Amino acid sequence: MDNLIVNNIRQRPLRALISVAGVALGVALVMLFTGLSRGMSNDLQRRSANLRAEIIFTRQGGMELTSSTANLSTKYAEELGKVDGVESVLPVIRYPFQSGRGFGFEMIEGVDWEGYAAMNGVALVDGRAPAAADEIVIDETKAQNNGKGVGGTLEIFGGKPYRIVGVYAPESGARVKMSLAALQDALESPGKCTYILVKCKDGFTPEAVAGAIEAAPATQGNKIQLTRDVVTNIEKSIPYLGVFLRALVGLSAIVSGLVVMLAMYTTITERTREIGVLKALGASRGYIVGIIEQEALVISLLGLVVGFAVSLAAGFLIHRAYGLLFDYGWRWALVAAAIGVGGGLLGALYPAMRAASLDAVTALSYE
Amino acid sequence: MKTILQAENLAKVYRVGSVDVHALRGVSLGVEEGEFLAIMGPSGCGKSTLLHLMGGLLTPTSGRISLDGEDMTAASDARRTDIRRRKIGFVFQRFNLFPTLTADGNLRLAERIHTGGRGAGSKDGEERRREVLSLLKLEDKLHHKPLEMSGGEQQRVALARAVVNQPAIILADEPTGNLDTENSAIVLNMFQEMNYRFNQTIVMITHNPEAAAMCRRIVQMRDGQIVAPSTGVQL
């Protein structure tokens, strides 16, 4: 291909490669972080959405995204059951534990299995319900990701192995469940739970039932949330996640821009004489800026392709190794593309302007 | 005969540190259409400065210069660039071809700049490029890059690049300075052929008396001035 821009890139393959890698790094950073954020958030939302109970009753601060305490008395279940419009109630104790693979944490829930399964429409696809203190059930996704099944074990508290006695579907709430009594015992919290699921009777709206609970003297002073609000607020509940993502986007743009700027600056210095020749041939400032920007555009587009490919491959490998979930959205892909191309073009602008304003005679005599 | 280039009392002073260096001291020169003019003189006499002023790469400290009826004296950088694009072809001592492009690619780049991208790659342009390369006996070098050609061939490509857009004037800065005797003769013959066959106006700076002898007129410079003769002498 007899093209000045393409040939210039091919003339210095290592420099072009570094520039492409710089842009790709920025793109991949945006894609991976936002993909991970979306993936984990969507996973939580999907599992939470499978809860059929319309109301979650808990104490203030008893249940956060990354922590839980068993500070709610199970006796509230009895009182909630008396409220008009409530069909059934179910105490759940939830606790975070360090996952056996890689980093991060998981949640385990202690429930009365029969009640939980009936309320939320889940069923065992293999094995039986947990009964003894060291027995657990896991959902199909966890069984598949961990390569575990009935008869296997998971280390949950202090490296102690817990026997998998059942696998259930669909995914709902925490992926690991044990009996309420077993988890209360493990946490030394007899008679306590983290929250109580409330299922409404047909013909009663969740808002009306929530209002009735709030008005009931025996249940006052606690937190009443609609399940659908919890689902939509998961992303918002991670403190400063939005700020972090925006900062990351900015940093990525700076990385892409700086790498391209350095590469193009070196290019301009190396090609000073050629720029002098272009000026002697009558090339305008706009033309010179144009060819340098076009070179940056080609590099940025290559960086985009590599960046997207790296994101997909890295997401797949991380998922395989650590079980983390990635969900790439079009919106963030467009943002990453804008950052890659915009950063590259902006980074090349200063060297391009500098080249365009070079003195022709000085440039022609450049050694 | 039409005057293509007119310089009147040109002076150029460079400031070097706190010292003023007078590169040109009142140079007046007219170049007629179809002339093949040699400018000779020792190093530092102001030949290159004069050529750069003629090409609009520099502006004079005082005096006036016009090319093909367009005043370049007070023209902006953009305006002088535009005049260069439309009316001037440069040939340099070190060829200054783009090393990543083939001979044809170098000509196409010049054509693209000349046309401002409009009509670049047209059939007319392709025919003209082939005609020029054929005239300069470079047909077989069409797809060769500069490093795959001899110095003489590279300078012929540079000459082809200068003439491909049919400029009003060619400004050549020591075009044989980097060539051996044989290639110098070939390149100078090509210059002469362009001048005779197409009435191409050429101004050439040279140290080489044999090269200057092939021109129709010679001006001698010394200490920033033309010392002999500035007009009228035909060889």
Q: Is A274 on the interface with B (CB under 8 A)?
A: yes
The answer to whether residue A337 scores a pLDDT higher than 70 is yes
Give one DSSP letter per residue of B123-160, joined into a string.
HHHHHHHHHHHHHTT-GGGTT--GGGS-HHHHHHHHHH
pTM for the complete prediction?
0.77
Q: Is B96 on the interface with A (CB under 8 A)?
A: yes
Q: Is A282 on the interface with B (CB under 8 A)?
A: yes
User: With an 8 Å Cβ cutoff, are A278 and B113 in contact?
Assistant: yes
- What pLDDT, in 10s, does the model give residues A292-302? 999 999 999 99
Q: How far is B31 from chain A (nearest CA, A)?
A: 20
Nearest to A284 among B58, B78, B90 (CB): B78
Q: Where are the domains of chain B?
A: 3-101+166-228
Q: Is B147 on the interface with A (CB under 8 A)?
A: no
Q: Give the contacts of A30 (CB within 8 A, at least 6 positions apart).
A: A248, A249, A252, A332, A335, A336, A339
Q: Is B196 on the interface with A (CB under 8 A)?
A: no
Helices (H), chain A: 4-11, 13-49, 75-81, 113-120, 140-146, 180-186, 206-215, 227-232, 234-237, 241-270, 272-281, 285-322, 330-356, 360-364
Closest B-chain CA to A271:
B98
The answer to whether residue B200 scores a pLDDT higher than 90 is yes
What's the average model confidence in pLDDT over A235-253? 76
A vs B: CB pairs below 8 A: 69
Give one DSSP letter per residue of A218-285, joined into a string.
GGTTSEEEEHHHHHHTHHHHSTTHHHHHHHHHHHHHHHHHHHHHHHHHHHHHHTHHHHHHHHHHT--H
Fold of B3-101+166-228: Rossmann fold (3.40.50)
% of chain A residues with pLDDT over 70: 93
In the stretch 160-189 of chain B, residues with CB closer than 8 A to chain A read 161
* A65: confidence class by pLDDT, cuts 50, 70, 90: low
- Averaged confidence pLDDT in chain A: 87
- What pLDDT, in 10s, does the model give residues A87-139? 999 999 988 877 665 556 778 999 999 999 999 889 999 999 999 999 999 99
% of chain A residues with pLDDT over 90: 43
- What pLDDT, in 10s, does the model give residues A150-162? 999 988 877 788 9
The answer to whether residue A1 scores a pLDDT higher than 60 is no
- What pLDDT, in 10s, does the model give residues B83-105? 999 999 999 999 999 999 999 99
Please give the pLDDT value at position A44.
78
